[in-house]
Amino acid sequence: MFNFDFKEIISVTLILFSVIDIVGSIPIIIDLRKKNGHVQSEKATIISGVLMFLFLFLGTTILNLFGIDIGSFAIAGALVMFLIGMEMILGIDIFKSDPESSTGSIIPLAFPLIAGAGTMTTLISLKAEYMQPNISVGIILNLIFVYIVLKSSSWLERKIGPGGIGILRKVFGIILLAIAIKLFKSNVISELGGVFHNHPLH
């Protein structure tokens, strides 16, 4: 029933690993833990996994159901990523934490940091090139690594130190802004290209 290809699994795992970039998100995870008191590692990992598998099997259908194209979805995700990057660089609170809310760290972690627009659009692209069972294994391997990083955020914070965290926070904030702008720019250009292409004067 399942034809697993080791080479495909490695390729998918590495592609998703670079898109999710959980290592680059360590300063954000530490920051969220400070704001919310803790990081709900299990819930964030499970919700991210559910979102990824839902999008793998039903992604295009879900977006079509709401009349949303992938470009618009990616732009929305890019805007949220941009705001998180601004938080990191300027040291301001855009996403207010609600101490009574059980969602706490789940929402910014599961979406858009782990299972964000970049991950979702990548999954749709991978479907054209790789077998679904191999993509599924790639998702599971990435989720295991995500869970390990989320669980060890306190240990990582101690190892890096407060000064190192401050520097990393600014650096990764800029990287996150750059990724958000790139995602925004490429999708806005493709959206505008589609508009001009369909224009009657074209």
Residue 99 pLDDT more than 50?
no
Amino acid present at 145: F
Query: What φ, ψ does residue 172 adopt, rounded to 5°?
Result: -70, -25
Rounded-to-integer distance, Cα 43 and Cα 139, Å:
16
115-159 pLDDT, tens digit each: 987 788 888 878 878 899 999 999 999 999 999 999 998 888 788
40-87 pLDDT, tens digit each: 899 999 999 999 999 999 887 888 898 887 778 778 878 877 888 888
Give the per-residue pLDDT at 140: 97
For the residues of 29-84, what is the DSSP string, one character each? HHHHHHHHSS--HHHHHHHHHHHHHHHHHHHHHHHHHTT--HHHHHHHHHHHHHHH
Amino acid present at 94: I
Amino acid present at 187: N
